[in-house]
Amino acid sequence: MTRVLVLGGGSGGLVAANKVKRLLGKEVEVTLVDRNTHHEFMPAYPWVAFGMREPEAIRRPLANLEKRGIRYLQATVEALDPERNRVKTTAGELSYDYLIVSLGAEALPSPAQDGHAPWSLEGALKLREALRTFKGGKVVVGVSSPYYPCPPAPYEVAGQVEFALKVKGVRDKSTVEVFHLNPAPLAGMGPVISGKVLEILKSKGIAFHGGFEPVEFAGGKVKAKDGRELSYDLLILTPPFAPNRVVRESPLAGPQGFPEVDRMTFRSPRFPNVFIIGDTVNPALMLPPAGVVAHFQGEYVAGVIASDLKGAYIGEPFNPVAMCIMDFGDNALLPQCAFDRVLAGTGMPSCGVMAVGKWVRVTKMLFEGFWFATLIE
């Protein structure tokens, strides 16, 4: 029996494990390794922060995968040995015929000790507590480095915190500002999406500060490299991220620490039975580090493995098109981007607006239920 080992129970790993098992059934033994006991629906972290969800509502036990014929092992990955087809974990050494690495990126310490980062369950709960006693004031949302998961995150959170302050009754006593290193919101997605996000921010009275490179956080102020300053009473900041340590210390890593893969198949050129997907590799491919991208990568590599074993492609055609519902609290935006030019190395993504409006938020909530029902319940 062919052994498929999946490292990481986030978006990409969960999709890949399910798809491999669905395509190949009893012909494969699929094992998913994750250090956590639960899979969490990461887009819902801000909902927890702003009191719209409780923690248990956005997570499911990874042990549920056993009902789908997928073995789950709670362990921390310590080292990769692709020359020997081995992975060292805290639960012992594992061997494989195919390996899918979806370990995500590694969060680094925040440069701001008083900053909140609601992009984990712990961070979301800390922000919830801070908002509980917040009586109004200056709220600043920003990024600490160019590399962070989910490019729309700071803009969504800025919109959601503005809405939360409105519900709390302190919006008229507060200001909300957002800063970014880029000159315009989501500049990498093109002028249509960027312009629409800026329009939504302006409609909510949220000031945007572009080209703002933070160099110092002290005394309730963030200072930019060009001398600009923003004062705050509440700071929400994306932490810096680095390539995953286990991967960057393995033979899979390239010169910059990110793994080297074929841009169209996500297969390692040195180790053809190894695939790397998601935030572990996407910045090196100029793809956004986002769950929606890891999702389509997970489906595709599962099909590639199935085709290797069957001698004919039985999966789905690779479709590098992604949709991401951006939730701004009392408004939402649904863009769609095609990344074929990015993967071919010939240009930027082609993006357009599919829908805008309050009703779009409902689709994100419905997708949460669909995600759990089809992958881990």
* Listed residue (141, 144, 169, 146) closest to 157, CA to CA: 141
Q: Name the packing angle between helices 153-168 and 191-203 (round to 10°).
A: 20
Q: What is the 3-state secondary structure (H, E, C) of the chain?
A: CEEEEEECCCHHHHHHHHHHHHHHHHHEEEEEEECCCEEECHHHHHHHHCCCCCHHHHEEEHHHHHHHCEEEEECCEEEEECCCCEEEECCEEEECCEEEECCCCEECCCCCCCEECCCCHHHHHHHHHHHHCCCCCEEEEEECCCCCCCCCHHHHHHHHHHHHHHHHCCHHHCEEEEECCCCCCCHHHCHHHHHHHHHHHHHCCEEEECCCCEEEEECCEEEECCCCEEECCEEEEECCEECCHHHHCCCCECCCCCECCCCCCCECCCCCCEEECHHHCHHHHCCCCCHHHHHHHHHHHHHHHHHHHHCCCCCCCCCCEEECCEECCCCEEEEEEECHHHHHCCCCCEEEEEEECCHHHHHHHHHHHHHHHHHCC
Task: Kindly report the pTM of this predicted structure.
Answer: 0.93
Query: Residue for token digits 């004062």?
Result: 231
| CATH number attached to the domain at 2-105+243-318 | 3.50.50.60
Interior CA angle at 46 toward 102 and 353, to 5°? 80
Q: Hey, what CATH topology would domain 117-240 get? A: FAD/NAD(P)-binding domain (3.50.50)
What's the rounded Cα separation, in Å, for the pair 344 and 264?
8
Q: Cα separation of 211 and 194, whole Å? A: 14
Question: What would the two tokens of residue 354 be?
Answer: 């599919």
pLDDT in tens, the chain (377 residues): 999 999 999 999 999 999 999 999 999 999 999 999 999 999 999 999 999 999 999 999 999 999 999 999 999 999 999 999 999 999 999 999 999 999 998 888 999 999 999 999 999 999 999 999 999 999 999 999 888 888 999 999 999 999 999 999 999 999 999 999 999 999 989 999 999 999 999 999 999 999 999 999 999 999 999 999 999 999 999 988 888 899 999 999 988 788 999 988 899 999 999 999 999 998 888 888 888 889 989 999 999 999 999 887 665 566 678 888 999 999 999 999 998 888 888 888 899 999 999 999 999 989 999 999 999 99
Domain positions in the chain are: 2-105+243-318, 117-240
Instruction: Spell out the residues 6+ positions from residue 148 whose beta carbon is closer than 8 angstroms to its own.
Output: 238, 239, 240, 241, 289
Can you tell me the distance from the alpha carbon of 52 to that of 290, in angstroms, rounded to the nearest whole number?
Answer: 22
Identity of the amino acid at 310: K
As given in the structure block, the two tokens for residue 215 are: 């160099």
Q: Is 2-105+243-318's fold the same as 117-240's? A: yes
Q: Give the C-alpha separation, 347 to 344, whole Å.
A: 8
Give dist(CA 203, CA 120) in Å, integer. Answer: 28
